[in-house]
Amino acid sequence: MAPSGPGSVRRRCRRVLYWIPVVFISLLLGWSYYAYAIQLCIVSMENIGEQVVCLIAYHLLFAMFVWSYWKTIFTLPMNPSKEFHLSYAEKELLEREPRGEAHQEVLRRAARDLPIYTRTMSGAIRYCDRCQLIKPDRCHHCSVCDKCILKMDHHCPWVNNCVGFSNYKFFLLFLAYSLLYCLFIAATDLQYFIKFWTNGLPDTQAKFHIMFLFFAAAMFSVSLSSLFGYHCWLVSKNKSTLEAFRSPVFRHGTDKNGFSLGFGKNMRQVFGDEKKYWLLPIFSSLGDGCSFPTCLVNQDPEQPSTPAGLNSSSKNPENHQFPAKPLRESQSHLLTDSQSWTENSTNLGKGKAGMSNPALTMENEN
């Protein structure tokens, strides 16, 4: 067996360092349990009824917090399926072709039957040289994980994992339950925190735990509320963090609302159709992560006009009837020339009124 080189040692050291934020949160959570359950509830509270109510509510929030945090950390990010990987012959052809139109022609042929709507800023097929695959919509390469991640939102150091399609719901619940956890601690600890400054507490070590517990809970509540509110806004718009900073590019141009289906449908994209699972860290998101329904309509009047063939009545995503089949079963018209796309939309329009949505066009052709 070959000895490990300096590069391998550095990678191992980085992996260990990446766990430091997770260890910090775990230690902080363990101390907060001791400070609240033992020092505050059992030692400092004199009313038995108050003790019981606080301990039951606290342990419920604590369990949901730990469960969602655990799922966010240890749920592996999903990678593109094998159909997005190039064949051996296509890889050889790409290596022989210089960067340019010939290179793109190889990628266009390989992506002809893939459900791809987005492109690069220059209008080219989104291709990952590192993973040697055609990127599905909303997929990005993570430099930390060194992999392409489906519907990548961001790489979070506090969970030492990529937040994407497979664990985004868990991440949202982690933010929600951690915020509720901190708010609950701050609210129930407030009266004892005031007693600390008015010398109303006995002179024991519990008083210092009570003081620092309130400061920590209040401080994290402020930061978590802003972060959770931001991600709630992203869910309502069906955006990822990356898409909020750089809008996805479609054939007709940049469209920041390209994946927005309306508030209700956007919520179900993340939390699923069964509401009984919404508050539980159990995977229930819709789709396979490789293809997503899209209206392909500009709703922002400041953006360029809609592509030819789209009716003005289709600008409201709530009125769209999206295909029931997975989009991967439909041919992507973004990889063909604009003339054939317009002709197909025109022919379908003669048979059925209102079928101007490219997603519906693809569905009816199949």
> So which residues are the catalytic ones?
156
8 Å CB contact between 137 and 353: no
- In sequence order, what are the residues at sequence separation of 6 or more whose Cβ sits closer than 8 angstroms to the Cβ of residue 246? none
8 Å CB contact between 295 and 255: no
- In sequence order, what are the residues at sequence separation of 6 or more whose Cβ sits closer than 8 angstroms to the Cβ of residue 341? 309, 333, 358, 361
Nearest-angstrom CA–CA distance, 169 and 58: 23
How many residues are present in the chain? 366
Look at the block and give the residue holding tokens 């519906």.
360
Radius of gyration of the chain (CA): 26
Nearest-angstrom CA–CA distance, 256 and 239: 8
Burial label for 135, CB within 10 Å (0-12, 13-18, 19+), is: buried
8 Å CB contact between 134 and 126: yes
- The two tokens of residue 230 are 């931001």
Q: How far is CA 40 from CA 11, 55, 199, 200, 221, in A?
A: 43, 10, 16, 14, 19
Q: Any bridge partners for residue 161, and if so which?
A: 156
DSSP state of 284: -
Q: Is 239 left (phi over 0), alpha (psi -120 to 50) or beta?
A: beta
